[in-house]
Amino acid sequence: MTILPVIPISPDQPDILPSGLTKTRRRPSMPPRHLADMDLAARKSAVTSLGEPAFRAKQLSTHYFGRLVRDAAEMTDLPAGSRDRLTADLLPTLLTPVREQACDDGATRKTLWRLHDGALVESVLMGYPDRVTACVSSQAGCGMACPFCATGQQGLTRNLSVAEIVDQVVYLAGVAASGAVTGSPPRLSRVVFMGMGEPLANYPRVIETVRRLTAPAPEGLGLSQRHITVSTVGLVPAMRRLIAEQLSVTLALSLHAPDDDLRDELVPVNQRWKVAEVLDAAFDYAAQTGRRVSIEYALIRDVNDQPWRADLLGRLLRGKLAHVNLIPLNPTPGSKWDASPKPVEREFVRRLQEAGVSTTVRDTRGREIDGACGQLAAGELTDASAGGAAADAEVAQ
* pLDDT single digits (tens) 244-282: 999 999 999 999 999 999 999 999 999 999 999 999 999
Percent of the chain surpassing pLDDT 70: 85
Q: Residue 219: name the closest of 58, 27, 12 by CA.
A: 58
Please report the pLDDT score of residue 8 as a whole number.
34
Please report the pLDDT score of residue 27 as a whole number.
80
**Residue 178 annotated as part of some ligand binding site:** no
* pLDDT single digits (tens) 27-78: 889 999 999 999 999 999 999 999 999 999 999 999 999 999 998 889 999 9
Percent of the chain surpassing pLDDT 90: 78
From the candidates 100, 122, 164, 219, give the one annotated as an active-site residue: 122
Check if 373 is active-site.
yes
Please report the pLDDT score of residue 391 as a whole number.
28
- How many CA atoms are closer than 13 Å to the CA of 265, on its beta-carbon side? 9
* pLDDT single digits (tens) 177-228: 999 998 999 999 999 999 999 999 999 999 999 999 999 999 999 999 999 9
Please report the pLDDT score of residue 153 as a whole number.
85
Q: Residue 163: name the closest of 56, 61, 58 by CA.
A: 61
Lowest mean pLDDT among 302-306, 336-340, 373-377: 373-377
The answer to whether 370 and 377 are in contact (CB under 8 A) is no
From the candidates 135, 219, 373, 380, give the one annotated as an active-site residue: 373
Please report the pLDDT score of residue 331 as a whole number.
80
The amino acid occupying position 295 is I
The answer to whether 230 and 194 are in contact (CB under 8 A) is no
**Residue 116 annotated as part of some ligand binding site:** no
d(C-alpha 105, C-alpha 269), whole Å = 38
SS (H, E, C) 98-151: EEEEEEHHHCEEEEEEEECCCCEEEEEEEEECCEEEEECCCEEECCCCCCCCCC
Check if 208 is active-site.
no
The amino acid occupying position 280 is D
Where do the domains of the chain lie, and which CATH numbers do they carry?
A: 30-93 (1.10.150.530), 94-396 (3.20.20.70)
**Residue 254 annotated as part of some ligand binding site:** yes
**Residue 146 annotated as part of some ligand binding site:** yes
**Residue 304 annotated as part of some ligand binding site:** no
**Residue 221 annotated as part of some ligand binding site:** no
Question: Quick one: pLDDT band at residue 367, thresholds 50, 70, 90?
Answer: low
> 3-class DSSP state for residue 16?
strand
